[in-house]
Amino acid sequence: SAIVLSLFSLVFGSPLESTQIEPWGTPGGESFWRVFAVFFPAVTGIMAGVNMSGDLKDPVRSIPTGTLAAVGTGYVIYMLLPILLATRADAATLVEDPLIMQQIAFWGPAILLGVWGSTLSSAIGSILGAPRVLQALARDGVLPRWLSFLGKGSGADDEPRIGTAVTLGIVMVAVSVGELDLIAPVLTMFFLTTYLVLNVSAGIEGFLKSPSFRPMFKVHWTLSALGALGCLAVMFLINPVATLAAGGVSAAIYLWLERRELNTTWGDVRRGIWMVLLRTSLLQLSHGNDTKNWRPNILVLSGAPTRRWRLVELANALSHNRGLFTITSILPSGSRDIAQQAELEKTLSAYLKERGVQALVRIMTAPDPFEGAQRLIEIYGLGSLMPDTVLLGDSEDPRRRDRYCQLITHLHQAQRNVLIFHENLERGMGQRRQIDIWWGGLHTNGGLMLILSDLLRADIEWRSATVNLKLMVPDEAAAEGTQANLDKLTSELRIDAVPHIIVGHGRSFEEILRQSSGQSDMVILGMAEPGEHFSDYYERLQARIADLPSTILVLAAPNFAFANVLMK
């Protein structure tokens, strides 16, 4: 009533002097944005209803109605007051006397009553809303643990008395400064930052159209985006340094909360963003293969990662947090139900995360591992994003060799690259200083072998490794021309590899292989395409690499031009 009385008294008052509206103020006056920064906290009472939402009977209905009514009422009053004052006194008079409205009003003391009523209502709105916000933040675990006492309530209505006392203390400190022009811009930055974040949140939710976001009062997401941009622009116009400081504080709070990994029911809008990006990316990837940007999407048939950790380590080195790879384990049929499989996948994911490995995990059941691997190849993937490279360990059990070779044949027929890792248990991966590629030509397995060595060297632990490109020739006559060809090839492909031409002089390839690569840390060998007697061939291949350092056997997928990945 005091505010209404003061407004009526001002409206029915009389002019002090003849004047005209001066929209640009007086020469030498304060800038518009400085005045705006001081004035802005006066219009922030529109958030009072939101701050007290927990005490409203029907917040879904009351908050939009009350907020819009407050915005409309405030807009009308704050737009009419400057016009009214400009018609009652000139700009110089208005600047000189802060309480000029007392002289203009029909009854001067009514203006003081209005100032008192406005100040009291703002103070009550803040003192009622702020403690409840503190209480909610403490209960949700957002505040540090040592401030958890702020979440306690008192009485039947759960009143935040402790929060009220803390709020009162903060207010008293601010009031003791005694300089409104100093405090108001700081408050303006806080409020604009809050409105900026609210607009960003509403805009993102509106754009994503998440099922959980169903506001009763619907606004197009573009309006929220414009509101956010407007807040940011005004903050820079008021004080660019303070804006950057506010951004830094907000970023620090965000990083701190992210590190705490709070378990809440709020949801995470970032997940919706990732889903939209994932959908867009999948649809874009389905348009066709781009050999220039190819990198392996690896399916690791490791079983329990703890037993074959070197397979996981190799896949991680090849992807180095840029490509995708999936750790898979195939369990006997009936050993786990669906819920237990999901729980086991979570356990394995947590184990990988603890060891710094970013990988997907998939567990399934099957009558035997070979059938399970074939099923995975057929069903695992999303749209065009399917594993194109299968990494598996060497099978040294002669009783399972035939089934193992049948699996390799199936993978090759399914247009997948096959990498078989034979680990030297005594040496592991050695010092990670030397990689030997035994060359058999660019257009068979050679292209993929070069790519693998390049990806491996991109890993931090293999960064200092030397790649040796080795080729055996029967005599000296063939060595000179072959050396020139390999030098030209490495130059054209921009591969940092050192060609080595080894003359056989009647020695077998197995003998040369052991002598030349016996001290290497990783050997990369190509495999022949599966044929009628592939099992016998693989048995001989196992005997060939038995005493070598850790070795990768490579079988490139047919009909994929790996040479194009390397060419300029």
Q: Would the pTM count as exceeding 0.75? A: no
For residue 522, what pLDDT is reported? 94
For residue 538, what pLDDT is reported? 92
Quickly state the pLDDT bin for 55 (edges 50, 70, 90): low
Q: Give me the mean pLDDT over the 74-91 stretch.
A: 83
> Which has more confidence, 390 or 286?
390
Domain that holds residue 20: 2-260
For residue 554, what pLDDT is reported? 93
Number of domains in the chain: 2
Domain boundary among 260, 283, 314: 260
> Considering the domain boundaries, does residue 190 fall inside one?
yes
Residue with tokens 């030297």: 424
**DSSP state letter for 305:** T
> Which has more confidence, 355 or 212?
355
Alpha helices in 518-559 (DSSP H): 534-545
198 and 303 fall within a common domain: no
Quickly state the pLDDT bin for 299 (edges 50, 70, 90): very high
Q: Give me the mean pLDDT over the 320-344 stretch.
A: 84
DSSP states along 56-87: -SSHHHHHHHHHHHHHHHHHHHHHHHHHHHHT
Q: Give me the mean pLDDT over the 71-80 stretch.
A: 83
Quickly state the pLDDT bin for 49 (edges 50, 70, 90): low
For residue 468, what pLDDT is reported? 92
For residue 13, what pLDDT is reported? 82
256 and 302 fall within a common domain: no
pLDDT at 263 over 60: no
> Considering the domain boundaries, does residue 284 fall inside one?
no
CA 54 to chain centre: 32
256 and 314 fall within a common domain: no
Distance CA 154, CA 139 (A): 14
For residue 435, what pLDDT is reported? 94
pLDDT at 555 over 80: yes
Q: Give me the mean pLDDT over the 397-423 stretch.
A: 91
Question: Do the Cβ atoms of 132 and 54 come closer than 8 Å?
Answer: yes
> Which has more confidence, 26 or 99?
99
> Considering the domain boundaries, does residue 365 fall inside one?
yes
> Considering the domain boundaries, does residue 299 fall inside one?
yes
Question: Do the Cβ atoms of 549 and 518 come closer than 8 Å?
Answer: yes
334 and 224 fall within a common domain: no
For residue 139, what pLDDT is reported? 79
358 and 482 fall within a common domain: yes
Question: Do the Cβ atoms of 54 and 159 come closer than 8 Å?
Answer: no
Longest dimension (CA), the chain: 119
Residue with tokens 């991966």: 429
Residue closest to 414 by CA, chosen among 425, 422, 406: 406
Summarize pLDDT for 214-259 with one digit per residue, the tens: 676 778 889 999 999 998 998 888 888 888 888 888 888 878 777 7
> Considering the domain boundaries, does residue 271 fall inside one?
no
307 and 444 fall within a common domain: yes
Summarize pLDDT for 83-132 with one digit per residue, the tens: 888 888 887 787 777 788 888 888 888 888 888 887 777 777 677 777 77
Domain boundary among 239, 260, 281: 260
For residue 220, what pLDDT is reported? 86
Phi, psi of 295, deg, nearest 5: -150, 150
Lowest model confidence (mean pLDDT) among 193-202, 249-258, 401-410, 557-566: 557-566
> Considering the domain boundaries, does residue 79 fall inside one?
yes
DSSP states along 390-429: EEEEPP--GGGHHHHHHHHHHHHHTT-EEEEEE-BTTTBT
Summarize pLDDT for 428-461 with one digit per residue, the tens: 888 999 999 998 877 778 888 988 998 898 888 8
Distance CA 66, CA 212 (A): 23
pLDDT at 54 over 80: no
Q: Give me the mean pLDDT over the 203-212 stretch.
A: 76
> Which has more confidence, 500 or 132?
500
For residue 215, what pLDDT is reported? 73
pLDDT at 264 over 60: no
Lowest model confidence (mean pLDDT) among 340-349, 350-359, 485-494, 506-515: 485-494
Distance CA 187, CA 122 (A): 14
Percent share of the chain, pLDDT over 90:
13
Helices (H) and strands (E) in the chain, counts: 21, 10
CATH of the domain at 463: 3.40.50.12370
- Across the chain, mean pLDDT equals 82
Distance CA 203, CA 219 (A): 9
Query: In what side-by-side order are the strands of the sheet with 497-503?
Result: 360-366, 325-332, 298-301, 389-393, 417-422, 551-555, 522-526, 434-438, 466-473, 497-503
461 and 539 fall within a common domain: yes
Lowest model confidence (mean pLDDT) among 103-107, 140-144, 209-213, 248-252: 209-213
For residue 408, what pLDDT is reported? 92
What is the CA angle 408-414-417, rounded to 5? 60
Distance CA 416, CA 302 (A): 17
Question: Do the Cβ atoms of 404 and 395 come closer than 8 Å?
Answer: yes
pLDDT at 56 over 70: no
> Considering the domain boundaries, does residue 249 fall inside one?
yes
Lowest model confidence (mean pLDDT) among 477-481, 497-501, 527-531: 477-481
Distance CA 290, CA 63 (A): 52
348 and 211 fall within a common domain: no
208 and 320 fall within a common domain: no
For residue 482, what pLDDT is reported? 86
pLDDT at 52 over 70: no
Distance CA 486, CA 550 (A): 25
70 and 205 fall within a common domain: yes
State how beta strands 360-366 and 389-393 pair. unpaired
State how beta strands 389-393 and 298-301 pair. parallel
Domain boundary among 260, 281, 299: 260
Q: Give me the mean pLDDT over the 257-266 stretch.
A: 62
> Considering the domain boundaries, does residue 456 fall inside one?
yes
Q: Give me the mean pLDDT over the 532-543 stretch.
A: 90
Distance CA 325, CA 297 (A): 6
Summarize pLDDT for 149-193 with one digit per residue, the tens: 888 888 777 778 888 888 888 778 877 776 666 777 777 888 888
440 and 488 fall within a common domain: yes
199 and 296 fall within a common domain: no
Distance CA 171, CA 92 (A): 34
At 434 the three-state DSSP class reads strand
The CA-atom distances, in angstroms, between 338 and each of 333, 335, 363, 451 are 11, 10, 10, 38
